[in-house]
């Protein structure tokens, strides 16, 4: 059992940290038995009776969070770990001291401040590839193992899977025929013709792709005339490419609404030419194939009433009560989670980058923003336009796939979900990012990914969060695994026991068995 001695205003972030690091913990109580004590107060370490005491920088000496200078980089097992909220040391950030009866780890930063910063402010793009919050959890786990202590944990990956993958699609355009000589239409023509020639000259496209784009440009009048199929109706094409893999489509609730931007002004370019009421026939087909429909929000990020209206508009067409949201253009600020929660959304999937890929919140897991009661945040890790669009990272196809594979491998190592966004136009000319997407799907299959809709992934994380391990006894858990009780019922979770010097042992388990384990031990202690 881990006991935590912290300031009152740190309890919210401590609770969320231990939903991500799913292991038994409780606020420190004098006289209770604890194997590990984590302390962020100024109380003397010697006053805690535990085999391992982890002393953090006291909360009273927190550094500056948002707007601070470049973070201090600490090398953690070959990886750079950014510390955002100040380090109270010039050289050694962590000092360990062992005596006959205890180990003391003195940490020159405040872990709880770091977690708060990651879940509210997030990381800048230059540290996007570092799953910083997960590395902090791994560091805690390693300190416990190095002190010779065993650990009980529910890892963030389902039984029988290596990682979760969410395939999502932001539908910003519903048909090329809606665009006649506007900026979208003219931009398409330029990129399909002159832009494609320049791309071939730069080695970014093949001649075959050039000819495919030219053909699309020449066929445009026939598309507008209704003679040829409209290539910007994406649903059948994604069904063909994904096969039986389930995905989530984020649909815009209202046509021709640009919404308000972060500067308070409205940008007409953000307005979308369709509304969800025009997608009824497509939604029926999506639901028949097991796909999910969610909200591509306009003003929900900054207005509760408009957020409700956007949710209700999609719910009326989709026939669903629990709906998720992702904001159009990824508009978001620190007040958005509470507004989306109050508006009744089940989850948000906005926290990511427009110009980078990686772990903005530093985590591979769905988490509860600290200002929310129920809403969970499903982080966005990979966006096609960030990877491949000319004014963003503009990676070559092989570079993009290598980067996605590296993120998938890191997620597989840590457990959790990799969330991917591929837009409605990205499988067809002029973008032609279909080959990248097909190879991305093959890469996920080769790594044992369990592909879920965004809503299914969030539901799985809710199930994991519903298990309270406080009081769960390690020996009882080991006996349960040996006797096979953990395999009864629908085994959607894993129970993991870490033994010092012996690695860990996993077993599939259902949530009710874990609840009984913790509840029985609580009763025994009472």
Domain membership flag for residue 448? yes
| Of residues 62 and 274, more confidently modeled | 274
Residues 180 and 81 in one domain: no
Which range of residues forms the domain containing residue 32?
Answer: 1-154
Average pLDDT estimate for 366-383: 98
**361 found inside a domain:** yes
- Does residue 403 share a domain with residue 363? yes
Lowest mean pLDDT among 6-15, 127-136, 247-256, 282-291: 282-291
Exposure string over 490-507, b if 16+ CB within 10 A, otherwise e = ebbbbbbbbeeeeeeeeb
- What CA–CA distances, in Å, run from 392 to 100, 124, 434? 56, 15, 19
Residue 469 domain-assigned? no
Q: Which residue has the higher pLDDT, 520 or 7?
A: 7
CA distance linking residue 415 with residue 163, whole number of Å: 6
Q: What pLDDT score was predicted for residue 59?
A: 66
Residue 510 lies in a domain: yes
Q: Is residue 467 part of a domain?
A: no
Whether 403 and 288 map to the same domain: the answer is yes
Q: What is the pLDDT of residues 332-361, one digit of tens each?
A: 999 999 999 999 999 999 999 999 999 999
Please name every residue paired with 377 in a beta bridge, in sequence order, or none if there are none: 348, 367
Instruction: Examine the domain organization and report whether 208 and 145 are in the same domain.
Output: no
With beta carbons less than 8 A apart as the criterion, state whether 453 and 291 touch.
yes
Q: What residues contact residue 240 under an 8 Å CB cut-off, 6+ apart?
A: none
Q: Are residues 454 and 483 in the same domain?
A: no
The position carrying tokens 């507008």 is 224
> How is residue 108 written in tokens?
């020159």
Nearest to 50 by CA among 76, 81, 28: 28
Strands 36-39 and 52-55: parallel
Task: Let me know whether 194 and 265 are in one domain.
Answer: no
Q: Please state, for a pLDDT cut of 70, what percent of the chain lies above it.
A: 94
Helix (H, G, I), strand (E, B) or coil at 75: strand
Contacts (Cβ under 8 Å, ≥6 apart) of 371: 334, 335, 337, 338, 341
My answer on whether 252 and 388 are in the same domain is yes
The 10 Å Cβ neighbour count of residue 340 is 30
Same-domain status, 497 and 391: no
Task: Kindly report whether the global pTM for this prediction surpasses the value 0.75.
Answer: yes
Give the Cβ contact number of residue 426 at 10 Å. Answer: 22
d(CA 28, CA 415): 28
The pLDDT of residue 523 is above 60: no
Q: Tell me: do 260 and 204 sit in the same domain.
A: no
CATH of the domain at 423: 3.20.20.370
337 assigned to some structural domain: yes
Give the pLDDT confidence score for residue 525 in this predicted structure. Answer: 39
> Which range among 8-17, 75-84, 186-195, 244-253 shows the weakest confidence by mean pLDDT?
75-84
61 and 8, same domain (yes or no): yes
SS3 371: coil
User: What is d(CA 148, CA 127) in angstroms, rounded to the nearest whole number?
Assistant: 33
> What pLDDT does residue 181 have?
82
Query: Tokens at residue 142, please?
Result: 């390693």
Pairing assessment for the beta strands 493-499 and 503-509 based on DSSP bridges: antiparallel
| Same-domain status, 499 and 524 | yes
Residues 507, 445 within the same domain: no
Closest by CA to 466, choosing from 513, 522, 525, is: 513
**Residue that terminates a domain, selected from 123, 154, 185:** 154
Reported confidence tier of residue 526, pLDDT bands at 50, 70, 90: very low
**pLDDT for 207:** 96
Contact 103, 97 (CB under 8 A): yes
Give residue 392's pLDDT: 94
Would residue 471 count as lying in a domain? no
Mean pLDDT score across all residues of the chain: 91
Domain final residue, candidates 429, 460, 491: 460
> How many structural domains compose the chain?
4
Q: What digits encode the pLDDT tens for the residues 97-145? A: 888 788 999 999 999 999 999 999 999 999 999 999 999 999 999 999 9
Q: Residue 62 pLDDT more than 60? A: no
In a domain, 356, yes or no: yes
- Name the percent of the chain lying above pLDDT 90: 75
Q: Are 444 and 452 in contact (CB under 8 A)?
A: no
Q: Region 252-273: what's the mean pLDDT?
A: 95
């Amino acid at each position: 059992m881990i006991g935590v001695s912290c300031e009152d205003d740190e309890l919210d972030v401590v609770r969320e940290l231990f939903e991500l690091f799913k292991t038994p913990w409780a606020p420190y109580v004098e006289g209770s038995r604890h194997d590990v004590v984590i302390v962020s107060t100024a109380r003397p370490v010697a006053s805690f009776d535990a085999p391992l005491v982890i002393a953090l920088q006291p909360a009273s000496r927190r550094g500056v969070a948002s707007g601070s200078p470049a973070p201090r980089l600490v090398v953690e097992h070959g990886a750079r770990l950014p510390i955002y909220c100040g380090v109270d040391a010039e050289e050694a950030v962590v000092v360990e001291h062992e005596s006959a009866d205890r180990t003391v780890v003195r940490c020159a930063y405040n872990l709880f401040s770091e977690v708060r910063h990651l879940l509210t402010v997030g990381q800048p793009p230059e540290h996007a590839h570092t799953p910083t919050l997960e590395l902090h959890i791994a560091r805690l786990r390693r300190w416990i193992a190095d002190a010779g202590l065993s650990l009980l944990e529910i890892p963030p990956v389902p039984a029988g899977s290596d990682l979760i993958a969410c395939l999502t699609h932001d539908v910003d355009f519903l048909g090329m025929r809606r665009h006649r000589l506007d900026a979208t239409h003219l931009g398409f023509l330029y990129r399909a013709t002159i832009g494609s020639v320049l791309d071939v000259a730069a080695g970014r496209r093949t001649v075959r792709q050039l000819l495919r784009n030219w053909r699309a440009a020449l066929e445009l009048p026939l598309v507008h005339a209704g003679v040829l199929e409209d290539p910007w109706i994406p649903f059948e094409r994604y069904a063909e490419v994904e096969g039986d893999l389930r995905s989530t489509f984020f649909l815009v609730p209202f046509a021709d609404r640009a919404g308000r931007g972060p500067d308070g002004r409205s940008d007409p370019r953000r307005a979308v030419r369709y509304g969800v009421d025009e997608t009824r026939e497509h939604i029926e087909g999506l639901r028949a194939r097991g796909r999910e429909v969610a909200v591509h929000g306009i003003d929900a990020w900054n207005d509760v009433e408009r957020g409700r209206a956007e949710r209700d508009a999609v719910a009326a067409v989709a026939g669903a009560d629990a709906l998720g949201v992702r904001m159009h253009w990824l508009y978001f600020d620190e007040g958005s989670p509470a507004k989306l929660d109050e508006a009744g959304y089940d989850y948000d999937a906005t926290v990511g980058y427009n110009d980078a890929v990686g772990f903005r919140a530093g985590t591979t897991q769905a988490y509860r923003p600290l200002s929310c009661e129920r809403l969970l945040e499903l982080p966005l890790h990979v966006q096609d336009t960030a990877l491949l669009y000319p004014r963003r990272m503009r990676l070559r196809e092989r570079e993009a796939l290598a980067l996605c594979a590296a993120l998938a491998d890191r997620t597989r190592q840590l457990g959790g979900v990799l969330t991917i966004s591929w837009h409605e136009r990205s499988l067809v000319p002029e973008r032609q990012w279909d080959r990248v997407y097909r190879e991305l799907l093959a890469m996920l299959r080769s790594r044992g990914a369990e592909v879920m809709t965004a809503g299914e992934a969030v539901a799985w994380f809710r199930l994991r969060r519903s298990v309270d391990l406080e009081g769960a006894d390690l020996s009882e858990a080991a006996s349960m695994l040996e006797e096979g009780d953990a395999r009864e019922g629908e085994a959607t979770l894993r129970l993991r026991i870490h033994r010092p010097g012996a690695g860990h042992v996993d077993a599939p388990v259902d949530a009710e068995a874990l609840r009984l384990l913790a509840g029985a031990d609580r009763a025994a202690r009472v």
